[in-house]
Amino acid sequence: MLVYDFEVFKYDWMVVFYNTETQCLAHVINDVELLRSVYDYYKNEIFIGFNSRNYDVPIFQCILCGQNPYDLTQHIIADDKKWFEYEGSYQFKEYPINNYDVFLGLIDNGLKTLEAYMGMQIEESSVAFDIDRPLTEDELKNTLFYCESDVLATYQVFLQRYEIFQSYVGLLQEYSLDNHYLNKTRAQLSAIVLKAQKRPVSEDEFDITFVPTLNMGKYQSVLDWFKNSKNKNYESSQFVKIAGVFHKVAWGGLHSFIGDYKMNSSGAKFTLKPIDVTGNILNADVASYYPNLIKRYNFMSRAVPNPDVYNDVIAKRIEYKKDKNPIADSLKIVLNSTYGAMKDKFSPMYDPLMANNVCVNGQLLLIDLIDKIEDYCDILNSNTDGIIVLVKDVSFEPIIREKCNEWSKRTGMELELDSYSRLVQRDVNSYLAFGVDGSIKSKGALKELHALDNNLAIINKAIKAYFISGVHPRITILENNNLLDYMAVVKLKGKYKQLLHMRDGKMNLIQGKYARVFASINTSDGIIGRGFLNELAVSQTSLFEFVEGENEPSWKFYKFANTPDRVYIDNSCIKDKPIPDILNKQWYIDFACAKLKNEWNVDLSDS
């Protein structure tokens, strides 16, 4: 396998390759024939990149076709268009590439963010991509150095996500698909396995079919809301009390809200109330909810000629799971991507009516279940595919289980019931659930962190340690000496043009789009933010000085949220760095305590 990354300028281009077998780096600079030789030699290998599906693959093919990669780069980046909309892209198919993309979409926030989380250096090249001349020798060397760093980082991301790659390979093997299908998204792979054929877009997406097994009981009005033509748009939603708890019913799913809901002149306002409940708690989770809704009620995309193919995938996965065959995990790609593909207008499986049928009936069936058990329990959490309840009396648990069993038989959905002894919950998507078997399920703000997702990890660890073991955040933080846990990673996005850092009372422009920041005890360090700049010498500008232009101030500044008022920046490799004397641990203690108070209703001010 070859990990690779292209860099393209107006008059120069380069690519770095890393051979995972020989562990050697190699590069090609402005040499089309050499690149073509590399392609001819390795074309049957797997190429691994970051966001390569949308950029590096078409750039690779563009160069091999003898076209100008800078024009394509401008088309993709500057003009914000798809590569396949480029005039010369019809030729690209002459050079198929077995590409595998480790990029998981917007949640990644760029390769540099992942590099920062892994403790790698995230210093960026000083060579501007808009240089209107050939690069100098030093500029080429500088760019090459940072390109090599990105390639090695991409390989580390690949290793961290190796199980995802294995599931892709397993799916290709199961359906005898060539390696070039590795370049497909999960939704695209699902469409291929299910043999979807794109159909004309119809105007019936709100003509919902309500499943005949529904029995809404006292909540018939919720079903009637979906029937009302005034509500047939994706902006419509309603707050309704179900089992004494506010629920938001909408076209995107069901969510409970524990707290206060008030209407005023400016509209609805909801104040969440965190809870910490102990007792006999049951989590009723619907197994493979959306896939089984699709199968049981024939809600497969109408672009799929034979829905039985989907049912066969479900049956295969059940059989493979029983036999502990790892291909079972590969088949999840198809099952879990189908609903999203039906909502994706670029997918051959696009069928918003069937997607709405799944989502609407899914939440109505859950409300149906709540209607049958609410006399015996209190609702703590209602979400897309399940509910969590507090059993009112020990004698009621068998009744609830029987009601759940009756619901399952009637609807054809399988409920998995887990017992908890405690639930600590900030909101419907952030909680800790303590299993009676000693296990702990964490979600949202308290989810399990990993090497590619550990922004301000010490805060997560401190809050979890408090709820799990009763340890004050002060103890957790003072005893933790892993520098990686203390970083906050900031990034320029959208309209913002500069990273700005206050030092010694002056605003300083920070090169690049990313910074890894830490709380500082140094009084010369100040806040970090992002902003807009016209023709102004940033280093000479006070934070609160606005220089008037013709219509508006010449610059604006916005502090990054959840960052200290005094920060220092360290974009170098910090994997093995010790905690420096400058790190202000007290800020992290105060921040953790403030989050506990403001978000979890826990006041530790006297402890």
pLDDT tens column, 114-147:
999 999 999 888 888 889 999 999 999 999 999 9
Q: Among 13-27, 470-484, 527-541, name the one with the lowest average pLDDT.
A: 527-541
- The answer on pLDDT for 500 being more than 80 is yes
Task: Name the residue among 449, 462, 455 with its Cα closest to residue 486.
Answer: 455
At which of 161, 183, 199 does a domain end?
161
Distance between CA atoms of residues 474 and 463, nearest Å: 10
Same domain for 138 and 250, yes or no, is no
Q: Is the pLDDT of residue 236 over 50?
A: yes
Which residues contact residue 171 at a Cβ distance below 8 angstroms, ignoring those fewer than 6 apart? 177, 189, 193, 327, 330, 331, 333, 334
Structure-token match 């520098």, residue found: 483
Of 490, 489, 463, nearest to 477 by C-alpha is 463
Tokens 């609160």 map to which residue? 544
150 and 243 inside one domain:
no
In this prediction, residues 202-216 reach a mean pLDDT of 95
The pLDDT value recorded for residue 532 is: 66
Co-location of 497 and 438 in the same domain: no
Give the per-residue pLDDT at 493: 82
Both 224 and 156 in one domain: the answer is no
The CATH number covering residue 411 comes to 3.90.1600.10
Interatomic CA distance for residues 502 and 509, integer angstroms: 9
Regarding whether 258 and 378 lie in a shared domain, the answer is yes
Domain assignment of residue 291, yes or no: no
- Is the pLDDT confidence value at 554 over 60? no
Averaged pLDDT for residues 461-482:
97
Name the phi and psi angles at 443, rounded to 5: -145, 150
Tokens describing residue 150? 């990105």
Domain end, chosen from 378, 411, 444, is at: 444
416 & 270 share domain: yes
As a whole number, mean pLDDT of residues 283-307 equals: 95
Q: In the chain, how many domains are there?
A: 3
Q: Which residue has the higher pLDDT, 271 or 540?
A: 271
Cα–Cα distance measured from residue 419 to residue 414, given in angstroms and rounded to the nearest whole number = 16
* Overall average pLDDT of the 93-117 stretch: 92
Residue 319 has pLDDT above 50, yes or no: yes
DSSP helix/strand/coil, 178: coil
Mean pLDDT of all residues in 559-574: 94
The sign one gets for the Cα dihedral 360, 329, 176, 97 is positive
| 30-71 per-position pLDDT tens digit | 999 999 999 999 999 999 999 999 999 999 999 999 999 999
One domain for residues 567 and 435: no
In the predicted structure, residue 262 carries a pLDDT above the cut 90: no
Token duo for residue 96: 């198929």
Single pTM value for the model: 0.89
Are residues 259 and 271 in contact, defined by beta-carbon separation less than 8 angstroms?
yes
Q: What pLDDT, on the 0 to 100 scale, is given for residue 124? A: 85
Are residue 115 and residue 27 in the same domain, yes or no?
yes
**Residue 496 above 80 pLDDT?**
no
Report the run of H or E that residue 294 belongs to, with start and end.
helix 289-296
In which domain, by residue range, is 493 found? 488-573
365: number of Cβ within 10 Å: 25
**Has residue 259 been placed in a domain?**
yes
Tell me the pLDDT band of 73, cut-offs 50, 70 and 90: very high
One domain for residues 378 and 235:
yes
Contact 424, 468 (CB under 8 A): no
Closest alpha carbon to 451 in 147, 120, 212: 120
Q: For residue 140, tell me if it sits in a domain.
A: yes
pLDDT-derived band at 545, boundaries 50, 70, 90? very low
Question: Are residues 126 and 23 part of one domain?
Answer: yes
pLDDT in tens, 326-340: 898 899 999 989 999
| Mean of pLDDT values over 269-295 | 93
Any domain includes 303: no
pLDDT at 549 over 90: no
- pLDDT tens, position by position, 154-205: 999 999 999 999 999 999 999 999 999 999 988 899 999 999 999 888 889 9
358 domain-assigned: no
What is the distance between the alpha carbons of residues 92 and 70, in angstroms, rounded to a whole number?
16
194 lies in some domain? no
DSSP 109-143: --HHHHHHHTT---PPPSS-TT-SSPPPHHHHHHH
Q: Same structural domain for residues 430 and 528?
A: no
Tokens standing for residue 349: 């499986």
Averaged pLDDT score across all residues of the chain: 91
Q: Name which of 95, 113, 131 is nearest 51 in CA terms.
A: 113
**Location of structure tokens 């209407």:** 263
Mean pLDDT calculated for residue range 517-521? 97
Domain of residue 34, CATH code = 3.30.420
Phi and psi at 305, nearest 5°, equal -60, -40
Claim to verify: residue 156 and residue 251 sit in the same structural domain: no
Query: Considering the domain boundaries, does residue 361 fall inside one?
Result: no
Q: Are 239 and 248 in contact (CB under 8 A)?
A: yes
How sure is the predictor about 149, in pLDDT bands with cuts at 50, 70 and 90? very high
**Cβ(414)–Cβ(303) under 8 Å?**
no
Residue 526 is assigned to a structural domain of this protein: yes
**Tens of pLDDT along 355-375?**
999 999 999 999 999 999 999
